[in-house]
Amino acid sequence: MDRLVYLDYAASTPVSEEALHVFQQLSQDCYGNASSLHDAGGRANDILTYSRQSFAAILEGEPDGIYFTSGGTESNLLAIQSIANGLPAHRQHVITTSVEHPSVHHAVNSLERLGVKVTIIEPNPDGIITQDILKEALLPETGLVSIQHANSETGIIQPLAELAPLLKEKHIVFHTDAVQTFGKIRVSIKELGVDAVSISSHKVYAPKGAGAVYMGAHVPWKPLYSGAVQEGGFRLGTVNVPSIGAFTAASEQLMLKRDELHRQHELLRDYFLQQLKIRQLPVRTLQNNGSRRALPHIIGCFFEGFEGQYVMLACNRHGICISTGSACASGYHDPSPAVKALHVSDRDALQFIRLSFGSKSSKEDIDQLLHTFEHLQKEKKGA
């Protein structure tokens, strides 16, 4: 087998040396329960206090608004459901989009079963939620809108700052899932105009098992669980201090090289697109449409004549890790809603594959991937 080529950073990232060092150190030296009143508990709580300050500075919010969770999925579920739980009776209407992460859809589906009115809006053919699309869905009773910052499968970035004024003037809470954008581009509470944000550790070179939600002080959330004392009643269970400390360290390091990585990913994206033309491979990418604003490290492709799952498994046999979409939706063979939203056929949607770059990605990785694509094409012609 060839050397392992990992091109699935949008699903999960390797743990950085800095994050691993902090995780090991805190696991050994800071094992107290952060809720305990003794000195060991105090040291653990000090780590959480520092981490809140760090994330608040990165997000341009307040430390008291940071609540730690077990990851992006729990962050989305708790944020949406606790905000809905705090809405007054006359504002029990929630809006989200058809292209959200499955955890967002699980959250609103649960709310709908409890009697909350839910509206799912569709993006335009470029994958964008426009002001007109959102405005048409707003009702007098709308209390919460949840729209992702960027899609994990297509990389398309939503114009949150353009949508926020529509909601602010009507006092509607605005939540965004920023799991894919945090650490990749600027995520500023003030700049985006959002009230609540979800982020996750394992997308930013930290261990799995940690995440965070930012809630503005004005957000009317209520705890989902009676008797919860951890994280201000936001969630149940002992706080994972080593993972949160590592999450903090990884995020701080990533902020220092974020812009450099962004340029590196742009160069890799451009190289990939250039090589597709040079090698005349029948691969169409979402990046061919210049009107779409998207994260450069995520590339969605359609390999003509091959189902995405077949291509993914063939690449795996050659030591290359890519995906057919969100890892949290693996096992489902139906076309991705995020891809279907771009007005592609079911046939094309089933051909979809995603590659995503990270800190260790290189032109050599892309060359090995394209060599595998050429091999598949030759096999097909020779069959």
Residue 233: is it exposed, middle or buried by C-beta count within 10 angstroms (0-12/13-18/19+)? middle
Cα 36-44-81 angle, rounded to 5 deg: 80
Q: Which of 145, 168, 169, 144 is nearest to 85 (CA)?
A: 144
* Amino acid type, 238: T
The helix-helix angle for 39-59 and 241-279 (nearest 10°) equals: 30
DSSP state letter for 353? E
368: which 2 tokens?
């090995």
For residues 106 and 81, is the Cβ–Cβ distance under 8 A? no
User: Greatest CA separation found in the chain?
Assistant: 71
Q: Which of 131, 148, 36 is nearest to 97 (CA)?
A: 148
For the question of residue 315 being annotated catalytic, the response is: no
Exposure string for 70-95, b = 16+ CB within 10 A, e = fewer: bbbbbbbbbbbbbbbebbeeebbbbb
Residue 90 dihedral angles phi and psi, to the nearest 5°: -90, 5
- One of 30, 315, 321, 328 is an active-site residue; which one? 328
Known catalytic residues? Answer: 328
